[in-house]
């Protein structure tokens, strides 16, 4: 009887591992195909051979500029920003055990956005200063939210409510800044606020690439501890997790990649909100969904950008398309949670 039970457990683990590997591989392949499609499609469609030649550093008439200067930075910005939004959203939703506890809803993205818009409109600062301000704004917002939500005991519901309030205040500040801004600065700020890959340049993407390369592995390494935090404070402590230290590392790492992604592409709506739940549904239980969530984020950003560019007569920023996708899911989630009594 004991051997049969052990065999069933082992079979279950093998099936879950196979499912994780299969899902992650399919997501990676889909992200790769979409990346290649972004390099090929545009006003002029270039064959794969021309794209490969450009990537290898060869000079191809027309393609070298279109692919190397315009499409490649746009694609790389979408890949790294999508991965950052997906990972950061998954971390906050898992750590706080609530699908609403993502950076968009609880105001972290709004903090980065407000700081960046202030630099664009009031200071008329460079992209480097905007990136630094975005990071500081995101970190400051996290600190303020956690301080205001503190009480005798930690409450996820209280933190979310405080975050929603902070987000409303920051959005009001953004609206005021747009009102007092000069006409030539408004289009830049609005394009940035809508979330867009338009005009992406390699020099603007490098800080995001470096941040993802440094901090994403840290988050992935803490994946098991993150899953234990989802079980609750006392359970995580009993399993040997230093909850305070783990939370601090995860929050700082997530906010840094989130803020730099926001500074690079603007706050692309609902990517952080949707990526985690989709990844969890695909992967199932037994394995951390951090990497799948990042890949789902990449897929959503690239697919939405392609739809925004080519599916309509007019071209729309990626954030408009993701907003159309994400808004109905948010309404559905609120209705479901209300029926369960979680709100």
> Could you tell me if residue 53 is inside a domain?
no
Dihedral class, residue 44 (left if φ above 0, else alpha if ψ from -120 to 50, else beta): beta
Q: Specify the CATH number for the domain of residue 153.
A: 1.10.3470.10
Cα–Cα separations (whole angstroms), residue 308 to 7, 26, 274, 302, 304: 50, 24, 18, 10, 6
Considering the domain boundaries, does residue 232 fall inside one? yes
**How many angstroms separate the CA atoms of 9 and 5, rounded?**
6
Q: What is the pTM of this model?
A: 0.88
Burial label for 127, CB within 10 Å (0-12, 13-18, 19+), is: middle
Within-domain flag for 68: no
Sign of the alpha-carbon dihedral angle for 88, 92, 95, 97:
negative
The reply to whether 63 falls in a domain is no
Is 246 in a helix, a strand, or coil? helix
CB-based contact 288:226 (threshold 8 Å)? yes
322 within a domain of the structure (yes/no): yes
Runs of H (alpha helix) within the chain: 2-40, 48-55, 63, 72-95, 108-118, 127-149, 156-180, 186-194, 202-221, 223-230, 233-238, 243-265, 271-283, 290-310, 318-340
Q: Specify if 182 maps to a domain.
A: yes
Question: How many CA atoms does the CB half-sphere of 190 hold within 13 Å?
Answer: 10
Contact of 194 with 319, CB cutoff 8 Å: yes
- What pLDDT tens digit does each residue of the chain (343 aa) get? 556 666 666 666 778 888 889 999 999 999 999 999 999 988 888 888 888 888 888 887 878 888 888 889 999 999 999 999 999 999 988 888 877 777 777 778 888 888 888 888 888 777 778 878 888 888 888 888 888 877 655 566 777 788 888 888 888 998 888 888 777 777 777 777 778 888 788 888 888 999 999 999 999 999 888 888 877 777 888 878 887 788 889 988 988 898 888 888 888 888 988 898 899 888 887 778 899 999 999 999 999 999 988 888 888 888 888 888 887 877 777 777 666 655 5
Q: How many domains does the chain have?
A: 1
* Residue numbers of the domain that contains 119: 74-340
Residues 6+ positions from 119 with CB-CB distance below 8 Å: 125, 129, 130, 133
116: in domain: yes
Q: 248 lies in a domain?
A: yes
């Amino acid at each position: 009887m004991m051997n049969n039970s052990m065999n069933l457990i082992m079979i279950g683990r093998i099936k879950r591992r196979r499912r994780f590997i299969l899902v992650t591989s399919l997501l990676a392949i889909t992200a790769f195909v979409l990346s290649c499609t972004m390099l090929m499609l545009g006003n002029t469609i270039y064959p794969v051979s021309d794209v490969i030649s450009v990537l290898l550093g060869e000079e191809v008439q027309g393609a070298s500029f279109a692919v190397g200067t315009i499409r490649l930075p746009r694609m790389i910005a979408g890949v790294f920003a999508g991965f950052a939004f997906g990972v950061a959203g998954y971390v906050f939703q898992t750590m706080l055990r609530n699908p609403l506890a993502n950076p968009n809803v609880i105001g972290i993205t709004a903090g980065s956005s407000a700081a960046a818009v202030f630099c664009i409109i009031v200071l008329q600062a460079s992209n480097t200063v905007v990136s630094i301000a975005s990071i500081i704004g995101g970190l400051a917002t996290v600190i303020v939210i956690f301080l205001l939500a503190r009480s005798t005991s930690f409450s996820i519901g209280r933190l979310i409510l405080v975050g929603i309030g902070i987000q409303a205040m920051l959005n009001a500040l953004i609206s005021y800044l747009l009102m007092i801004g000069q006409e030539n600065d408004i289009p830049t700020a609005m394009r940035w606020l809508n979330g867009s890959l338009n005009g992406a340049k390699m020099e603007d993407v490098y800080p995001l690439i470096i941040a993802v390369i440094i901090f994403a592995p840290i988050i992935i390494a803490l994946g098991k501890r993150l899953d234990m935090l989802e079980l609750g404070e006392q359970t995580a402590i009993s399993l040997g997790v230093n909850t305070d230290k783990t939370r601090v590392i995860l929050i700082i790492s997530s906010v840094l990649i989130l803020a730099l992604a926001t500074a690079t592409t603007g706050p692309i709506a609902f990517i952080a909100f949707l990526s985690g739940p989709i990844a969890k549904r695909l992967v199932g239980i037994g394995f951390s969904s951090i990497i799948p969530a990042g890949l789902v984020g990449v897929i959503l950003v690239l697919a939405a950008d392609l739809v925004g560019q080519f599916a309509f007569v007019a071209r729309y920023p990626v954030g408009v398309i993701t907003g159309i996708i994400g808004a109905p899911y948010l309404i559905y989630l609120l209705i479901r949670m209300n029926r369960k009594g979680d709100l």
